[in-house]
Amino acid sequence: MLSYTNTIDEMHQIDFVGPRQIKGFGSINSLHLKDVIGSQVAGNQYIGKSMNNVIKFLLDYWKSHPIPKYIQVDNGMSFAGDFIHPRSISRFVRLCLYVGIEVVFIAPAKPWMNGTVEGFNGKFDEKFWKKDTFSDLDDMRIKSQIFYQSQNRFYSWKRKKQDLKAMTPKRMLRRDFKIDRSNIPLVAGKIHFIRIVDSNGDIVLLNEHFHAGEAYIGEYIWATIDVASQSLSVLYNDKDLVVQTIKKFEYVIDEEVQELSGDHILFS
């Protein structure tokens, strides 16, 4: 389970919305990021929902905005990778671990768990997409940035009335940071999953079944892969809101795990 402090830039949610059709041009998809506590948003538009687009967006974003403690996403291929190979850790997850972020995957087919960014997706659809016209991808990108900025001014105004603190120290990527996006090393860190135990008492993580137990069929559980210790912990929040570790598995990853150096991070 996560330890929340309800601070700005502690948890970011990311999601794709689309495709949407631009007449005479074709389909586009919007990638959105929203801070759960601070409510600031960012985004950009792309032809496809590729992981390469997600990685480029985040690398650019983290050079001018704080890196969060957690990123929460759905289980789409843009984030989780392929649906075939077990224990295959995607380049998106590797990048997050590399900059010191813990990734949280929500339960499959439960978009309400990413309610902060999903709510913004609805606002983007109603107040931007349906109220404007676009000639092509570049035109939509220019206009969307104006929309994001207007939303952020509004959220900043609302935030003045609240006593909110930001994560400290603030972490950002160095402006000159570069990484081979096709070969991101695996570093120590944690990957979290929210799952519903199926009728066999199992959960599925990264294309592999693990037995949580028949006593938990139909219940939500929390599972954490600790890359450093090569272990998987399965936790359950009981009716008295007591967190119990109900199972622990070895989770051997057939790959060298590197220590995070932090040389590429700026602190302030």
d(CA 38, CA 94): 25
Q: Tens digit of pLDDT for each residue in 193-229?
A: 999 999 999 999 999 999 999 999 999 999 999 999 9
Q: Tens digit of pLDDT for each residue in 70-123?
A: 999 999 999 999 999 999 999 999 999 999 999 999 999 999 999 999 999 999
Contact assessment for residue 248 and residue 223, using Cβ atoms and an 8 Å cutoff: no
User: pLDDT-based confidence at 159, cuts 50/70/90?
Assistant: confident
Contact assessment for residue 24 and residue 37, using Cβ atoms and an 8 Å cutoff: no
CA nearest to 28, candidates 151, 183, 140: 140
N- to C-terminal Cα separation, the chain: 28
Mean pLDDT for 233-251 is 93
Spatial neighbors of 205 by CB under 8 A, at least 6 apart, are: 193, 195, 223, 225, 232
Contact assessment for residue 235 and residue 213, using Cβ atoms and an 8 Å cutoff: no
What is the reported pLDDT for 76? 96
3-state class (DSSP) for residue 59: helix
Hey, which bits of the chain come out as E strands?
11-22, 26-35, 41-46, 70-73, 102-105, 171-173, 190-196, 202-205, 208-211, 220-226, 231-237, 243-250, 265-267
Hey, which bits of 79-183 come out as E strands?
102-105, 171-173
Q: What is the mean pLDDT of the chain?
A: 94
pTM of this structure: 0.95
Mean pLDDT for 239-246 is 88
Map out the domains of the chain as residue ranges.
13-72+111-166, 190-250
Strand partners, 12: 35, 71
What is the reported pLDDT for 268? 67
- Number of Cβ atoms within 10 Å of the Cβ of 12: 28
